[in-house]
Amino acid sequence: MITAQILTYDSYVQMPWKNGGGLTQEICRYPKEKEVFDWRISRATVHEDGNFSLFKGYQRVISIVKGQGVFLQEAQSGKKLISRQDVFSFSGDQLIHCELVNGSVIDVNLIYYPNLYHAQMQWLPQQIEPSTFTTSAKHILLHSNEGNAQVLINNSNQKNVSKNDTLSITKTNEPMLTTLCVINSAPVILIELWPKPLE
């Protein structure tokens, strides 16, 4: 069984950063009811240089969706340029300093427990013609940052994803594959999460 819903921009929950340096918009978390989450997806606007919040025990993945990019610097290492649509992964235990390249940026963040999940974030290019792919992920999220996207799920359930909205798909039985047919007027972010088997 599959549940699919559109998470609208207006439904995102605004909350302060853990370090008090700004605000983030939480798109969704799992489990939804728990304060301590297994994974969380959010958007954040970065207006000034500073350190990222620490999330001990978590893995983090970010991508810039608007703006010129940032330089990220880990302790004991040089600066790394993260441009728009680059995907960068790092440990939530690490202190990361962020330096803006040229003005504010908006980024999308995935934070997850690596002992519970495998995860992947990628950009799907603009697709004027339908593009079909399958995934075994339990949780699938498609975030439309600029244009609109049409997504046909398993050839039967169509969802229209508007600008800044997110399509959230959760599979309740496994190992069933999910087939997505996507038409998108601008690049979109695809996030997939696979639970690790219990030991």
Q: What is the pLDDT of residues 23-39, one digit of tens each?
A: 799 999 999 877 789 99
Query: How much is the average pLDDT of 94-107?
Result: 91
Q: Write out the DSSP string of 72-106.
A: EEETTS-EEEE-BT-EEEEETTS-EEEEESSS-EE
Is the pLDDT assigned to residue 20 strictly greater than 90? no
Query: How much is the average pLDDT of 176-180?
Result: 89
Question: In a 10 Å sphere around its CB, with 0-12 CB exposed, 13-18 middle and 19+ buried, how is residue 70 labelled?
Answer: buried
Q: Which amino acid is at 87?
A: V
Is the pLDDT assigned to residue 21 strictly greater than 70? no
Q: How far is CA 168 from the centre of its chain?
A: 11
- Tokens for 22, please give them: 């700004």
Q: What is this structure's pTM? A: 0.92
Give the span between the Cα atoms of 184 and 139, in whole angstroms: 20
pLDDT number for residue 114: 97
Q: What is the pLDDT of residues 53-79, one digit of tens each?
A: 899 999 999 999 999 999 999 877 778
Query: How much is the average pLDDT of 99-123?
Result: 95
Q: What sign does the dihedral 96-97-98-101 (CA atoms) show?
A: negative
Instruction: Specify the residue for token string 């649509």.
Output: 85
Domains of the chain: 12-112 (2.60.120.10), 117-195 (2.60.120.10)
